[in-house]
Chain A
Amino acid sequence: MLIAHVGDVSNLVLDPDIDSYYMMDGVIFRIPLLVQKISQARDLGRRIALGDALSSDKLAELIFVLPGIVENAFDGIKLGVAKAYGFKNVYGAPNVKDLINQEYDMFVGAIGAFLAQTKPIRAVALDSAFNAKRYVEAGNVALSALKKLYAAEAKALDALLVARINALTFQKRLMQFGVPLLWLAVIYLLIGFYRSVMKTVNSLDEISKKLVRGDTEEKVKLDAKDELAKVGASFNVIGQALVQRNKDLEENKKKLEDSLRLLEESYKKLEESNARIQEQQTQLIQSEKMASLGQMVAGIAHEVNTPLGFVRNNIEVLEKSQRRLLDVLERYRDLRDALINGQLDELEAKLLGIVEASKKIDSSNFSEKIRALIAESLDGIDRIQQLVIVLKNFSRLDEASFKETDLNQGIESTLKIAHNLVKYKAEVIKDFAPDMQVECFPARMNQVFLNIITNAVQAIEGQGHIWIKTYKEDGMAVVKIRDDGRGIPKENLKKIFEPFFTTKEVGQGTGLGLSIVYKIIEQHRGTITVQSEVGKGTEFTIKIPVKQSQELASPASTLAFN
């Protein structure tokens, strides 16, 4: 059966699953070849030993071809067997190694010997009968080993095939009994599956409840591997997202609390800086006042400097003149003493000296000069005194409440203060109504006039004019101050009373002047309006009530610019 099987090569080779055919390959293809070739070689060896003279073809075959073929086939078998040794438990078959081991060792030894025997022949001599004989013997041994191996392999193959047949039989039986069992298994699995689904659903339910409470990071236990599992997985994703969201919310809450704290802090800082700004604003208003004061002081300084300059100069000239007078006086005294003492010899020289020294003081010009010097000096001192009075009038520091005051006078003293500023730039044309007695804060109104007049002067390019008109109308005192300066552009006209609005360069003005004016007029319950045309000039119209009502009589609390 086996041999028959072995002979049926196609059947065996067709089954690619069974790796053990490697061995079969060794047996089926190599062993018959080996047997044939070794027999051939032994026969040729025998003929040499019997004294036959072989043809050169045969000899070459014996020496070169046959051993090569034998060697090749030998290697193939060794390879097949080595692989067969590696196989394990093929359908419960015995190990190939156990089955062929002994025969295989013999086979290896015999073929090895054969090849060893043939080697010296190949190497040394072909015609030695002794050698040929050994050749033949080795061939015989190899052949018998081959037979035995062949048998062992056949046995192993047999065992393998039996194992395979058994396996197939088992499969057949399994088909017979296995199908109902399979159904049972399916039902069992279905029940298991249902349970697993229910478990998943319950888990879903439970976890979602926990999730709703927001106190879990658990995941749904996933046993199933189907759509529900997908649902579960999605649920897990959603759940985890929810948990994450929850965490995020917590974090956001914390962040919000932090921001709230920051907000509170910055609010506090804001309040502080607000206070600081207010303080700075007060300081700015103060510095604006100081700036206008500074301007005023500079103007006054110049105004004072001029009379001071010539008064001082006059006194120095007077001093020089007095020195001359004293010189003449001294000479006269000298002459008198000489006369009294009777020193007559020097009289002429002394007289000549007096005449010489008196030349400059004898002229009518000299006494006129002294008189003028004194008069002009006094005039200068009067001018300084006037300035001091004007300053006092302007500031009216002694009056801290509404006082009936002549506005005309206020404007006049303001013009004197601003004289230095105005005189080089503008001619002032006054049109004053005679009675301008008004209840007001004189010092503050003067500040208003000074501010507006200063602006007017600054608006004039080159030489210009300032018109000042006062009159009363419907219980209001009206002051109009007009200039022919460059005028205010329309877009700026609305903003001029706003604090900090300025068109002057940084450092030139705080932009508070007119806002202070506005405040002061407001405090007097008056109005201030402005008309302007670019290139033509500007006119400010101030109206304040002639009489202030009683409740405003104590103004200290309402006045911010005190």
Chain B
Amino acid sequence: MSSESRILLVDDEPMVLSSLSRLFEDDYVVFTANGGAQALDIVRREPIKVIISDQRMPGMLGHEVLRQVKQISPNTVRMLLTGYSDLDAIISSVNAGEIFRYINKPWKADNLCNLVRLGVQIYDRIAQLQAKEQAKAEALKTSSRIHIEVEEKHGSVLFVDYDENEVKRLVEKFSKSFDVSGATSVDEAFKELAKRPVSVVVSNVNFADVDGIGFLNAIRQEYPQVVTVILTEVKDATLAVRSINELSVFKYLVKPASDDVIGKTLSEAVEKNKLYAKAPSTNVRQTAETIAPEIVAPKVEESALRLRLRAAQALLSKTNLRNES
């Protein structure tokens, strides 16, 4: 199956294209394009499973190419090769949901091979899930005329920030539109999460003692359907790249963000959460984790965080039992 898989490489540098082609030619059907226009042509023509594009190219920048690829072929797993950290472009590409993975130049051939293999698997798995979901939807349509509309309450949102006033403000501001709670520390957040189902976590990543991405990742692993939004004053390319590569964050908002932007993001995130529940195929991250946990393996620190999270859960269930008895 894998030998039939088509992948597309995009770079304005022919030497890079030929080099990468040779890396993949034994295992995949490799297409190459020297720029955005050519790449989009190929994507329209061929069912491309994985696309790797250089960021810096004349004419169309890589993230723009990937953005358009997403529209043409939403299931194509998109990876961006960057040798040059263009912060604003990275953050905007994070928020546009264009990219599955950032790859830094110079890359390591083995890693790249693994990532492409994973990408292909994700593509196949998602196609499978989608087929199943579609069949289920069809069956539902024909079997029952009565459509039960479960009027769900607005999504539940957890704000996490070290700044107590900020949390208080956000909770007050959005308590009308969403079911909100707040936490000013990692442990507090874990307790909140154990108390009730949360659909969206809006968190800073700039904590004194804990790696923010690791913290969010721990949450993601325990509650795969939680949609994560980063709201931080740290505008940092490495962090943005990590937020995608390690976390598949939904949005990366840089403070000061207007309440309008936050509100809009929350609505979108809640929708996303509902979509995850309805159609798990859309949760690319979770799919990736089920296929290749070694590539998105939790770090040591994350494991420690998960232990803390579980401890919070255990503590809470114990107190609940006590209260009930």
Contacts and interface: CB of A to CB of B under 8 A. Distances in A.
Interface of A: 298, 301-302, 305-310, 312-314, 316-317, 320, 360, 369, 372-373, 376, 379-380, 420, 423-424, 463
A297 to B, nearest CB: 12
B57 A424 contact: yes
B169 to A, nearest CB: 28
Given A302-B83, A309-B16, A372-B18, 7 more contacts: A298-B84, A309-B83, A313-B23, A313-B106, A313-B107, A360-B26, A376-B19
A317 B22 contact: yes
Interface of B: 13, 15-16, 18-20, 22-23, 26, 56-59, 83-84, 105-110, 112
A314 B22 contact: yes
Contact of A306 (B13, B108, B109, B112): B13
Given A314-B22, A316-B109, A424-B56, A379 B15 contact: yes
B105 A309 contact: yes
Contacts of A310: 13, 15-16, 18-20
A162 B15 CA distance: 153
B31 to A, nearest CB: 18
B11 to A, nearest CB: 9
B18 A302 contact: no
A238 B232 CA distance: 75
Nearest to B84: A302
Contact of B19 (A302, A314, A320, A423): A314
A522 B112 CA distance: 53
B23 A317 contact: yes
Nearest to A309: B106
A552 to B, nearest CB: 41
A380 B22 CA distance: 16
A306 B18 contact: no
A310 B20 CA distance: 8
B83 A373 contact: no
Given A306-B16, A306-B83, A307-B15, A369 B106 contact: no
A380 B47 CA distance: 32
B35 to A, nearest CB: 11
B241 to A, nearest CB: 16
A543 to B, nearest CB: 33
Contacts, number: 72
A320 B13 CA distance: 23
Contacts of A420: 56, 84
12 contacts: A302-B84, A309-B16, A309-B83, A310-B13, A310-B18, A312-B109, A313-B112, A316-B23, A317-B109, A320-B109, A360-B26, A376-B18
B175 to A, nearest CB: 37
Nearest to B58: A424
B22 A305 contact: no
B108 A316 contact: yes
Contacts of B18: 310, 372, 376
Contacts of A380: 15
Q: Which of B13, B22, B57 has the most CB of A within 10 A?
A: B22
B58 A423 contact: yes
A376 to B, nearest CB: 5
A301 B84 CA distance: 8
B interface: dominant SS: loop
Nearest to B18: A376
B15 A316 contact: no
Contact of B107 (A301, A309, A379): A309
Contacts of A369: 22
Nearest to A299: B84
Nearest to A383: B15
Q: Which of B19, B23, B56, B112 has the most CB of A within 10 A?
A: B19
B116 to A, nearest CB: 13
B300 to A, nearest CB: 28
Closest 5 CB pairs of A and B: A316-B109, A310-B19, A309-B106, A305-B83, A313-B19
A313 B109 contact: yes
A308 B19 contact: no
B56 to A, nearest CB: 6
B124 to A, nearest CB: 24
Nearest to A308: B106
Contacts of A316: 23, 108-110
A249 B112 CA distance: 88
A507 to B, nearest CB: 13
A513 B310 CA distance: 58
Nearest to B61: A424
Contacts of A314: 19, 22
Q: Which of B13, B23, B26, B105 has the most CB of A within 10 A?
A: B105
Nearest to B57: A424
Contact of B105 (A298, A305, A317, A463): A305
A376 B17 CA distance: 11
A320 B107 CA distance: 16
A183 to B, nearest CB: 100
Contacts of B22: 314, 317, 369, 372-373
B254 to A, nearest CB: 16
Contacts of B106: 305, 308-309, 312-313
A10 B323 CA distance: 118
A464 to B, nearest CB: 12
B312 to A, nearest CB: 43
Contacts of B84: 298, 301-302, 305, 420
Q: Which of A298, A301, A320, A379 has the most CB of B within 10 A?
A: A320
A338 B22 CA distance: 35
A431 to B, nearest CB: 22
A515 B107 CA distance: 41
A281 B2 CA distance: 62
Nearest to A320: B109
A418 to B, nearest CB: 14
A423 B16 CA distance: 17
Given A380-B15, A424-B56, A313 B110 contact: no
B58 A376 contact: no
B16 to A, nearest CB: 5
Contacts of A309: 16, 19, 83, 105-107
A420 B58 CA distance: 10
Contacts of B108: 312, 316
A424 B18 CA distance: 21
A305 B16 CA distance: 11
Contacts of A313: 16, 19-20, 23, 106-107, 109, 112
B86 to A, nearest CB: 11
Nearest to A370: B22
B19 A306 contact: no
B28 to A, nearest CB: 14
